[in-house]
């Protein structure tokens, strides 16, 4: 349902003294939640009209925001599956839907027009056992086409919070078949939808996934109390290819965040996606060898649906209190890697060298004047020396990299020794010389 069509009402708000003992507070919260009633705690000295008005406004705002989230999610699912999406609660009331194409069947058309599933079609779905299958598990259910009833092929999945079903996502097939990843995307979308449906019930809910990502990455850890059994986590940073201008680039990040959120939730139920530091971040509990494959599939999905390239960096797996270290590793993998998906482990040696280069560039009095003179007066010899040191002092590799004969390499190395007096058999001298040469070849930003 488009956000402009959304309607939300606060039917009732229960006001309770904030001084109520903790055990009774928990019982009241559970009772209010089950009844679908908003709950607000009245502070000492606060008037009841003020408390009631504030609680109603907060509940209405939360419900409106949640409805908009559901509408956005419906459109994201439609983009990823190529189908026509409707999200309903357990009473078959339509909560949100994607834009329609030309292949709408009567079940979808009437559901949207009436804001609820038509009883004739609901009876057919019950007769076909669809609702029983949806309620039995989180598995995606396929409904075959029934031409005699005017029902086109569909995929559907239940939306659950624990064992409690909150609603259903329906995806009617459009002109083309569903892509191979449609079921996985639908599973992830159902997990995201659960949070949005819970948000509709009242204001005292957990923050959105995007807000949790911002909070956790700003603090560098998973909240003040990660729980009795802290779990390792991994940060994955994504960037889309730049657009033609800042507006298009921002839109690409928003589109990418939707894809990352759906695929991340399908991979792990408690994965979190959001934008931070100009990139789309995915926080995944744990870290396994399957992460790169999941990220590559995600990037392929974004490319297929939106047409722009995406790159990703996978940070190291860390304890919850060290989340900032995983973020820095993911961002280093992005900045130093050249492939579409790069892990921090793949760029760790280069990251260490770049850090050392920055230190060398910042302290010019440590520079060897002989190396500076070689760079200034014999740039070809300096390039040969850097290539030789980077190749592990292998003459054959140096010759191949420079496209010259091995005899020429040996002559140049002897000439370098004569001019500088550097002992190329001394490991420490070679390391210091290579760092200084690399600084001149790849000066740090703002450096020499």
CATH number at residue 279: 3.30.70.270
CA-to-CA separations, 93 to 1, 113, 117, 199, in angstroms, rounded: 11, 11, 7, 17
Do 335 and 433 sit in the same domain of this protein?
Answer: no
Do 140 and 162 sit in the same domain of this protein?
Answer: yes
pLDDT of 55: 44
Q: How many CB atoms lie within 10 A of CB 23?
A: 8
With the C-alpha atoms ordered 198, 200, 204, 208, is the resulting torsion angle positive or negative? positive
Write phi, then psi, for 299 (nearest 5 degrees): -65, -40
Do 347 and 379 sit in the same domain of this protein?
Answer: no
pLDDT in tens, 311-350: 999 999 998 888 889 999 999 999 999 999 999 999 999 8
Residue 446 CA to residue 448 CA, distance in Å, equals 7
**Over the Cα atoms of the chain, what is R_g?**
30
Counting as low any pLDDT under 70, the low residues of the chain are 1-68, 199-209, 218-230, 442-448
In the chain the first and final C-alpha atoms are separated, in Å, by 56
pLDDT of 35: 46
Residue ending a domain, choose from 200, 235, 263: 200
pLDDT of 246: 85
Domain assignment present for 412: yes
Domain assignment present for 187: yes
Do 280 and 401 sit in the same domain of this protein?
Answer: no
Range of 57's domain? 3-200
Q: Report the DSSP beta bridge partners of residue 16.
A: 41
Residue 110 CA to residue 103 CA, distance in Å, equals 14
Residue 56 CA to residue 20 CA, distance in Å, equals 21
DSSP 12-55: -EEEEETTS-HHHHHHHHHHHHHHT-EEEEEPTT--HHHHHHHH
Residue 347 in tokens: 């760029």
pLDDT of 292: 93
Domain assignment present for 448: no
Tell me the pTM. Answer: 0.60
Do 327 and 367 sit in the same domain of this protein?
Answer: no
Do 16 and 134 sit in the same domain of this protein?
Answer: yes
Do 196 and 221 sit in the same domain of this protein?
Answer: no
pLDDT of 322: 85
Q: What does DSSP say about strands 141-143 and 154-161: parallel, antiparallel, or unpaired? A: antiparallel
pLDDT of 36: 46
Do 140 and 265 sit in the same domain of this protein?
Answer: no
Residue ending a domain, choose from 354, 387, 415: 354
Number of independent structural domains in the chain: 3
Do 71 and 167 sit in the same domain of this protein?
Answer: yes
For residues 270 and 320, is the Cβ–Cβ distance under 8 A? no
Check which CATH number belongs to the domain holding 385 and give it. 1.10.10.2840
**How does DSSP classify residue 105?**
-
Do 269 and 409 sit in the same domain of this protein?
Answer: no
pLDDT of 7: 35
**How does DSSP classify residue 161?**
E
Domain assignment present for 446: no
Nearest partner of 41 among 30, 54, 31, judged by Cα:
54
Nearest partner of 385 among 447, 337, 432, 315, judged by Cα:
432
Do 249 and 367 sit in the same domain of this protein?
Answer: no
Burial of 428 (0-12, 13-18, 19+ CB in 10 A): exposed
CA-to-CA separations, 434 to 193, 222, 305, 359, in angstroms, rounded: 54, 41, 45, 14
């Amino acid at each position: 349902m488009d956000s402009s069509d959304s309607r939300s009402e606060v039917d009732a708000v229960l006001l309770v003294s904030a001084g109520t003992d903790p055990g009774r507070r928990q019982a009241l919260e559970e009772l209010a939640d089950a009844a679908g009633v908003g709950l607000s705690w009245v502070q000492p000295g606060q008037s009841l009209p003020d408390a009631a008005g504030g609680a109603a406004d907060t509940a209405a705002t939360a419900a409106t925001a949640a409805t908009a989230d559901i509408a956005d999610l419906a459109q994201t699912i439609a983009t990823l599956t190529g189908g026509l999406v409707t999200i309903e609660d357990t009473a078959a009331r339509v909560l949100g839907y994607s834009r329609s194409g030309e292949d709408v069947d009567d079940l979808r058309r009437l559901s949207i027009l009436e804001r609820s599933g038509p009883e004739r079609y609901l009876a057919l779905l019950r007769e076909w056992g669809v609702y029983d299958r949806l309620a039995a598990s989180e598995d995606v259910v396929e409904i075959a086409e029934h031409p005699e009833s005017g029902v086109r092929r569909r995929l559907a999945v239940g939306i659950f919070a624990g064992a409690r079903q909150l609603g259903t996502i329906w995806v009617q097939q459009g002109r083309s078949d569903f892509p191979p990843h449609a079921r996985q995307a639908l599973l992830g979308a159902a997990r995201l939808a659960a949070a949005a449906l819970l948000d509709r019930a009242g204001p005292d809910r957990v923050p959105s996934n995007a807000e949790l990502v911002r909070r956790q990455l700003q603090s560098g850890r998973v909240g003040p109390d990660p729980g009795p059994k802290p779990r390792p986590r991994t940060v994955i940073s994504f960037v889309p290819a730049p657009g033609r201008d800042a507006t298009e680039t921002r839109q690409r990040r928003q589109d990418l965040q939707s894809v990352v959120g759906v695929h991340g939730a399908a991979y792990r139920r408690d994965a979190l996606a959001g934008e931070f530091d100009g990139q789309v971040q995915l926080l995944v509990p744990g870290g396994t060898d399957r992460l790169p494959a999941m990220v590559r599939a995600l990037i392929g999905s974004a490319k297929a649906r939106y047409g722009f390239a995406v790159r990703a960096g996978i940070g190291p797996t860390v304890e919850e209190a060290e989340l900032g270290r995983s973020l820095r590793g993911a961002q280093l993998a992005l900045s130093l890697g050249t492939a579409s998906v790069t892990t921090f482990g793949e760029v760790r040696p280069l990251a260490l060298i770049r850090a050392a280069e920055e230190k060398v560039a910042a302290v010019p009095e440590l520079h060897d004047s002989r190396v500076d003179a070689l760079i200034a007066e014999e740039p070809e010899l300096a390039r040969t020396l850097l290539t030789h040191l980077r190749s592990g002092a292998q003459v054959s590799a140096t010759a191949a990299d420079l496209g010259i004969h091995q005899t020429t390499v040996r002559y140049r190395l002897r000439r370098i020794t004569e001019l500088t007096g550097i002992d190329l058999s001394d490991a420490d001298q070679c390391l210091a010389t290579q760092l200084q040469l690399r600084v001149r070849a790849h000066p740090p930003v703002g450096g020499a």
